[in-house]
Amino acid sequence: MQIKPIGLRVAVKPIKEEEITKSGIILPDTAKEKKAEGEIIAIGTDVKIKELGLVVGQRVLFGKYAGDDVKMGDEEIKILSCEDVLAVIEN
Amino acid sequence: MQIKPIGLRVAVKPIKEEEITKSGIILPDTAKEKKAEGEIIAIGTDVKIKELGLVVGQRVLFGKYAGDDVKMGDEEIKILSCEDVLAVIEN
Amino acid sequence: MQIKPIGLRVAVKPIKEEEITKSGIILPDTAKEKKAEGEIIAIGTDVKIKELGLVVGQRVLFGKYAGDDVKMGDEEIKILSCEDVLAVIEN
Amino acid sequence: MQIKPIGLRVAVKPIKEEEITKSGIILPDTAKEKKAEGEIIAIGTDVKIKELGLVVGQRVLFGKYAGDDVKMGDEEIKILSCEDVLAVIEN
Amino acid sequence: MQIKPIGLRVAVKPIKEEEITKSGIILPDTAKEKKAEGEIIAIGTDVKIKELGLVVGQRVLFGKYAGDDVKMGDEEIKILSCEDVLAVIEN
Amino acid sequence: MQIKPIGLRVAVKPIKEEEITKSGIILPDTAKEKKAEGEIIAIGTDVKIKELGLVVGQRVLFGKYAGDDVKMGDEEIKILSCEDVLAVIEN
Amino acid sequence: MQIKPIGLRVAVKPIKEEEITKSGIILPDTAKEKKAEGEIIAIGTDVKIKELGLVVGQRVLFGKYAGDDVKMGDEEIKILSCEDVLAVIEN
């Protein structure tokens, strides 16, 4: 079973906070809006998403409380408006 | 008797919650806005709907309280703005 | 005497609730916004109305309290913004 | 002395309520927003007005409290945004 | 010294109320928003102003409290957004 | 050191009020929003600024509390959105 | 590890206030919104950013509380909407 976001949205698998810290990025709690990290598992149907440079597999930064939470089997995923994706993290 | 949505709308037949759970998707009650699933039974008259990738027969995810509820005979249907369709669920 | 709506509007003759129920559609009172049905008796002057697929004679579904009520002789009509027409009902 | 509305506006000469009733149209007081009728005496400078189908001499329906009231000599006129003109009444 | 409005604006020299009344136009105090009359002394830099039909020397009608008041030497002028110019008065 | 505004903005050096009065323009305190005058010292990067007719060296009129105040060395400057520039003052 | 902003955003490394003062620019506390300076370390994926004249390495001025704060290793960075970048500071 797979999910295909509609329009200018992406589906992401959030990365647990302990894993994020190990990787070097710290998402300060003191920030105005708490941030989270995740991996893009599906991109939406709007062709503008490619212009934005978003592709499956990227690690992205977004507002922790943005978007919609859904559980697929055991996996928690988030459907985010592309507007809520702040940046891609490249290694 | 059939319904043809006008503009950027789709008509969906909601899927009962007990059936959704069996299929593997869980729609957590703790989410900001409760989600629901349904099957598209008619697409609207706006040509942009096809660009969004929405077609009759798809199983879609949407906000439980989005759109307008109508009863056709025994069947409860929902007329949704395409903006409220978050994702297509593919098996 | 006839009425010609201006812009993206249609004029509809509302159908009485007892007639609607007989036809098979039920408009639940429990819905967020009460719905009503009517027949389009005139379409507006904006060319986009045809792209929306609205023509004279169609039976349409709309929000009961949307639009503007006018009485022409004995006939009560409603002038609706096309945005408020949810769907066409086809037999 | 004449008035030439600017942009997407028309100038109308309101028709007294007793004359309206005689003509067959009744503007119910119970409507959400009280309606009024008038004759277009000048159209604005925006070319889109012609696409809307508005011309001098038409009898139009509009919200009683829409637009701006001005008195030219003895004549009371109203300058209306085209958006506030609901329909043309044709005999 | 001269003033050149920027964008979709015009500069007007307001006409005193006693002069307006003599000319035949009456601006009723009972209107929702008090009106005023003035003469256009400069038009803005946006090319769309010509499409609107506004030129220097025209007598125009506008909302009394719209725009910005400036004094040049002894002369009080008003810089108005074109949107606030309701109509041109032609003799 | 120089400042280059980004987008539809200009940088202005405000003119002191005693100098403004000498020049003939009076900016009445009684106006809805207090006005100020300044000289454009840099224009933004958006090409539409030239269409608006704004160039370095012009004396312009703007809302006293519009824009952002910055001090460069001893010089106080203001970065203004072009929308807040009401007019150019020409001698 | 690097960050690539999405859309019309830039990533900046804020410059400490004591360093800013030495350089000649003073960001007055009395301003409506406190300002800050920073160096652009990455530009977003939207092609319009180049039209705005923003490139990596520039020193820019922005609202101190605009954008989103993130820590990469020891480095604090800010992801800013391009709309919040007021000006480039050139030496």
**Out of E23, E86, E91, closest to residue D68 by CB:** E86
**Out of B26, B33, B82, closest to residue A71 by CB:** B26
G71 CB neighbours in chain A (<8 A) are 25-28
Going across the sheet that includes A68-72, the strands are: B25-26, A68-72, A75-81, A9-14, A35-43, A59-63, A85-90, G2-5
From CA F81, how far away is CA E4, in angstroms rounded?
Answer: 18
Chains that touch F (3 or more CB pairs under 8 A): E, G
Q: What is the pLDDT of residue B73?
A: 77
Q: How confident is the model at residue C84 (pLDDT cuts 50, 70, 90)?
A: very high
Number of separate domains in chain F: 1
Q: What is the pLDDT of residues E1-38, one digit of tens each?
A: 789 999 999 999 999 877 766 666 666 665 566 889 99
Residue G52 located in a structural domain: yes
What CATH number is given to the structural domain containing G24?
Answer: 2.30.33.40
From the CA of F79, how many Å to the nearest CA of chain G?
7
**Out of B46, B68, B71, closest to residue C86 by CB:** B68
From CA E71, how far away is CA E77, in angstroms rounded?
Answer: 6
From the CA of E72, how many Å to the nearest CA of chain F?
4
Q: What is the pLDDT of residues G33-62, one digit of tens each?
A: 688 999 999 999 999 999 999 999 999 999
E75 CB neighbours in chain F (<8 A) are none
Interface residues from chain F to G (CB-CB < 8 Å): 1-7, 9, 11, 42, 45-47, 65, 68-73, 79
Interface residues from chain C to B (CB-CB < 8 Å): 23-28, 30-33, 35, 51-54, 60-61, 63, 82-83, 85-91
Cβ–Cβ gap D87/C45 under 8 Å: no
Residue D1 located in a structural domain: no
**How much of chain A exceeds pLDDT 70, in percent?**
85
From CA F14, how far away is CA A85, in angstroms rounded?
Answer: 40
Q: Which of F57, F71, B1, A43 is nearest to G35 (CA)?
A: F71
Q: How confident is the model at residue F30 (pLDDT cuts 50, 70, 90)?
A: low
Residue D58 located in a structural domain: yes
Count CB atoms within 10 A of the CB of residue G52. Answer: 21
Q: What is the pLDDT of residue G91?
A: 77
Cβ–Cβ gap D4/E87 under 8 Å: yes
Residue F4 located in a structural domain: no
Q: Residue B36: CB partners within 8 Å, gap ≥ 6?
A: B14, B15, B27, B61, B62, B63, B64
Phi and psi dihedrals of F46, rounded to 5?
A: -80, 130
Residue F3 located in a structural domain: no
Residue G1 located in a structural domain: no
Q: What is the pLDDT of residue A29?
A: 60
Count CB atoms within 10 A of the CB of residue F71. Answer: 15
Cβ–Cβ gap C11/D87 under 8 Å: yes
Q: What is the pLDDT of residue E85?
A: 97
Q: Rounded to whole angstroms, what are the CA distances from C59 to F2, F19, F46?
A: 66, 71, 50
**How much of chain C exceeds pLDDT 90, in percent?**
63
Per-residue pLDDT, averaged over E58-73, amounts to 91
Q: How confident is the model at residue F72 (pLDDT cuts 50, 70, 90)?
A: confident
Q: What is the pLDDT of residue A31?
A: 57
- Residue of chain C whose alpha carbon sits nearest to that of D24: C73
> By residue range, what is the domain housing residue E72?
9-89
Per-residue pLDDT of chain B (91 residues; tens, 9 = 90+): 789 999 999 999 999 877 766 666 666 665 566 889 999 999 999 999 999 999 999 999 999 899 999 988 788 999 999 999 999 998 7
**How much of chain A exceeds pLDDT 90, in percent?**
63
**How much of chain F exceeds pLDDT 70, in percent?**
85
pLDDT at residue C41 is higher than 90:
yes
Q: How confident is the model at residue C24 (pLDDT cuts 50, 70, 90)?
A: low
Residue C1 located in a structural domain: no
Q: Give the DSSP letter of residue E24.
A: T
Q: Which of B22, B21, B3, B24 is nearest to B67 (CA)?
A: B3
Residue B46 located in a structural domain: yes
Q: What is the pLDDT of residue G32?
A: 62
Q: Residue G39: CB partners within 8 Å, gap ≥ 6?
A: G12, G13, G15, G57, G58, G59, G60
**Out of F27, F28, F53, closest to residue E45 by CB:** F53
Calculate the average pLDDT of chain E: 88
Q: If residue D20 lies in a helix (H) or strand (E), which one and from where to where?
A: helix D17-23
Calculate the average pLDDT of chain A: 88
pLDDT at residue C85 is higher than 90:
yes
Cβ–Cβ gap C45/D27 under 8 Å: no
Spans of chain D below 70 pLDDT: 20-33
